[in-house]
Amino acid sequence: MSDYREKARERVKKYCKVCPVCNGKACAGQIPGMGGIGSGMAFQNNLTALAACRILPRYLHEADNPAPEAELWGQKLSLPVLAAPVGDVSAMGSDMPTARYTELLIKGCREAGTIATFGDRQRMDLLSENFAQIGGNGAMTIPFFKPWAPDDMGPRLDMAAAHGCAACGMDVDAAGFSALRKASPGFGIRSGRDIAELVKMTHARGMKFIIKGIMSPVDAHIAVDSGVDSLIVSNHGGRSIDCTPGTAEVLPAIAEAVGGSVLIMADGGVRTGLDVLRMLALGAKLVLICRPVTIAVHGDEEHGLRCYFEDLRQQLVAAMRLTGCADLASISRAALC
C-alpha cells in the first residue's frame, strides 16, 4: 500500500498531498481540491468526533471469528462499506478522465464485493459517460444526483432505471454550490414536498431513494415523512458549510429520532476498520468512504481499491473480535465508552 500511495501522490499532486492520515489539515479550504470548505473545520471535526469515541475491549466471549458481511436490499456485501460518490474528478486534481475513474471504481468495488456510487454531472452527455461504465450489474452501482428541482430529474432517473440501478440518491447538502445555482434556476434547497415528489418518481421507476446530507433529527424526520428508503448522515466531507460538527457527533441523535424506520448510513472521516465499527456502534448500518477510496484508485486502479477494501475488512474483523461482536448486528454502543 505504501507503493500505491507514492503513485497516487504523483497523480493527484495538483491538490492532494496523500498525507499519512487524511484529516483535512494540509488541504484546509482547498476547493477545488480535496479539502473542507473555509477553515476546513467541518472536515477535521469528522475525524475528531470519531477519535473521541473510545473503544471498550472484551476478551471473554465466543466471537473469535466474526462475520463482517453485510446486505443492502438483497445485495450481499463483503463488508459494510460503500465507496462514496464523487462528481468531476478533475476538480480534485486528478489526471484521469471522470469516466475512466468511474470505470475503475465500479470494477474495484465489484471485485471487493461491495457497491460503487458516482456523483452527478451537470451535462447529460458527461453523466451518460458515467452510466456507460456500469456494465452488467446495475444493482451494484448507485448514482447520486444533485438537488435539481423534481421537474428536471425525470431524464436522470430514466437513465438510472435504464441501466438497472436498484437505487438512486440525492446529495441535498449540495444546495449551496454557487456554480450550479447559477447554472439552473431550479437548483437548490429542496422542501419535504419536493422530496416526497422525488421519492414517488424514483419508486415509479422501480428504484429506492436515498437522501444524503442529513445532519439533524429535524431533517431526518422530514426525510422519513417524505418516504425516503434510506438516509445518509453526512456533511459532504466538510465541503458544504464550514464549522459543522463531525458526523459521528450527530449520528446517535438522528438514529434515535428515526429508530428503525429507514436504513441509516453515515460517512465523514472513516479511515480504518475501527472507525467503521465506531459508526456502526453509533447507529449506522452501512458507512461510506470517499477520499481514501480515491487515493486507492489513483494508486493502483481497481487492484488498489481491492487491496484497500481487503485491508479495511481485516481491520474490521480484528476490531469486532476484540470487542466481542460476532456479526454486524451485535455491534452496539456497548463497544464504546
Ligand X SMILES: Cc1cc2nc3c(=O)[nH]c(=O)nc-3n(C[C@H](O)[C@H](O)[C@H](O)COP(=O)(O)O)c2cc1C
Q: Is residue 290 at the binding interface for ligand X, with CB under 6 A as the rule?
A: yes
Distance of alpha carbon 297 from alpha carbon 110, whole angstroms: 13
Which span sits near ligand X by CB under 6 A: 155-163, 188-196, 234-242, 324-332? Answer: 234-242
Q: Does 85 bind ligand X (CB under 6 A)?
A: yes
258-290 burial by CB neighbour count: b if 16+ within 10 A, else e? beeebbbbbbbbbbbbbbbbbbbbbbbbbbbbb
Shortest CB 4 distance to ligand X, Å: 18
| Stretch touching ligand X by CB under 6 A, among 130-138, 154-162, 222-230, 285-293 | 285-293
Q: For ligand X, which residue of 42, 50, 92, 297 counts as binding (CB under 6 A)?
A: 92
Shortest separation between residue 169's beta carbon and ligand X, angstroms: 7
| Nearest CA among 112, 104, 106, 178 for reference residue 137 | 106
Give me 138's grid cell: 446495475
Segment holding 100, helix H or strand E: helix 98-112
Residue 87 interacting with ligand X (CB under 6 A): yes
40 binds ligand X (CB under 6 A): no
Stretch that binds ligand X, among 262-270, 297-305, 316-324, 329-337 (CB under 6 A): 262-270
Contact between 48 and 58 under an 8 Å Cβ cutoff? The reply is: no
Shortest separation between residue 279's beta carbon and ligand X, angstroms: 11
Among 229, 267, 275, 301, binds ligand X (CB under 6 A): 267
Is the CA virtual torsion 286, 127, 214, 243 positive or negative? positive
Angle between the N-to-C axes of helices 217-225 and 192-204, in degrees from 0 to 180, rounded to the nearest 10: 40
Coil, strand or helix: which one is 46?
helix
Residues 109 to 148 in contact with ligand X, rule: CB under 6 A: 119-120, 144
The rounded radius of gyration (Å) of the Cα atoms in the chain is: 19
Q: Which residues pair with 214 in a beta bridge?
A: 233
What 3-state class would DSSP assign to 32? coil
Which of 86, 196, 254, 280 is close enough to bind ligand X by CB under 6 A? Answer: 86
Closest CB 298 distance from ligand X, rounded Å:
12
> Three cell numbers at 38?
473555509
The closest alpha carbon to 274, from 63, 30, 44, 68, belongs to 68
Q: Is 276 near ligand X (CB under 6 A)?
A: no
Count of residues binding ligand X (CB under 6 A)? 23
How far is 26 from 4, CA to CA, in rounded Å?
20
131/144 with CB nearer ligand X: 144
Nearer to ligand X, 298 or 321 (CB): 298
Q: Which of 156, 163, 236, 321 binds ligand X (CB under 6 A)?
A: 236
Q: What is d(CA 308, CA 104) in angstroms, rounded to the nearest whole number?
A: 14
CB 8 within 8 A of CB 295: yes
Does 325 help bind ligand X (rule: CB under 6 A)? no
By C-beta, is 89 or 331 nearer to ligand X? 89
Closest distance to ligand X from the beta carbon of 59 (Å): 31
**Alpha helices (H) in 185-269, listed in sequence order:** 192-204, 217-225, 247-258
Site pattern 160..179 for ligand X (x: CB under 6 A) = -----------x--------
Residue tagged 456497548 (cell numbers): 334
Task: Decide: is 270 part of the binding site for ligand X (CB under 6 A).
Answer: yes
CB of 325 to ligand X, least distance (A): 23
Residues in contact with ligand X by the rule CB under 6 A: 34, 46, 84-87, 92, 119-120, 144, 171, 212, 234, 236-237, 239, 267-270, 289-291
